[in-house]
């Protein structure tokens, strides 16, 4: 698990994901506009959100992942999550993922939150490489990654089976020296 359980940026507070966050996150995870690019199906119940969070919290406890809720500093309102979806410790690498509720798109929140956890990952976990896998038509995420200095490396054709179809994934990466 990460050494820190809370981070602050100029506009955001990031803290570890908890099962009690299900009620705040369910409206986003049940919105097809948000889940369209996530690796989960759109959720139908709060219990599904709790179950998903329990799975993520278990992976966090095992050191396999980290996940933070993203809260607005001025209101305390949860607007999404971000974190390291997987760690490959032997390679000093990790994969990030993130999502925001629709009302918070296009305001720079994803880049702000990711900059914070990336810095911690490179410093605390001594990561050398961070990857992101993005669907080709997810322009907002591609833009956020470019703002952070990620480079597109390639396209994995039919790499993800989701909603009864295979979708391509674009591979992006950021190396420690590129962040510094």
pLDDT tens per residue, range 48-63: 999 999 999 999 999 9
Please list, residue by residue across 53-68, b when 16 or more beta carbons sit within 10 angstroms of its beta carbon and e when fewer do. Answer: beebbebbeeeebbbb
Ramachandran class of 135: left when φ > 0, alpha when ψ lies in -120 to 50, beta otherwise:
beta
From first CA to last CA, the distance across the chain in angstroms is 23
* Cβ-defined contacts of 36-44 (< 8 Å, 24+): 37/99, 37/134, 37/135, 37/138, 37/141, 38/97, 38/99, 39/97, 39/160, 39/162, 41/162, 41/163
pLDDT in tens, 73-129: 999 999 999 999 999 999 999 999 999 999 999 999 999 999 999 999 999 999 999
Tell me the average pLDDT across 143-167.
94
* Dihedral pair phi/psi, residue 27, rounded to 5°: -60, -30
Average pLDDT, the chain: 94
Tell me the average pLDDT across 32-43.
90
Q: Is the pLDDT of residue 71 over 70?
A: yes
Q: Is the pLDDT of residue 137 over 90?
A: yes
pLDDT in tens, 1-13: 344 579 999 999 9
**Among 35-44, 98-107, 130-139, which stretch is predicted with the lowest mean pLDDT?**
35-44
């Amino acid at each position: 698990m990460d050494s820190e359980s809370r981070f602050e940026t100029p506009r955001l507070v990031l803290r570890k994901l908890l099962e009690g966050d299900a009620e705040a996150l369910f409206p986003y995870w049940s919105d097809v506009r948000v889940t369209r690019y996530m690796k989960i199906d759109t959720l139908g119940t709060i219990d599904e959100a709790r179950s998903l969070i329990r799975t993520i919290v278990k992976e966090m406890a095992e050191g396999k992942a980290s996940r933070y809720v993203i809260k607005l500093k001025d209101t305390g309102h949860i607007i999404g999550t971000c974190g390291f979806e997987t760690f490959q410790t032997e390679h000093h690498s990790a994969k990030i993922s993130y999502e925001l509720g629709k009302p918070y798109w296009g305001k720079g929140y994803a880049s702000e939150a990711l900059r914070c956890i990336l810095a911690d990952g490179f410093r605390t976990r001594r990561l050398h490489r961070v990857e992101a896998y993005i669907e080709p038509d997810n322009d907002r995420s591609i833009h956020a990654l470019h703002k952070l200095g990620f480079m597109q490396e390639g396209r994995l054709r039919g790499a993800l089976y989701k909603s009864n179809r295979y979708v391509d994934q674009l591979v992006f990466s950021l190396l420690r020296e590129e962040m510094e």
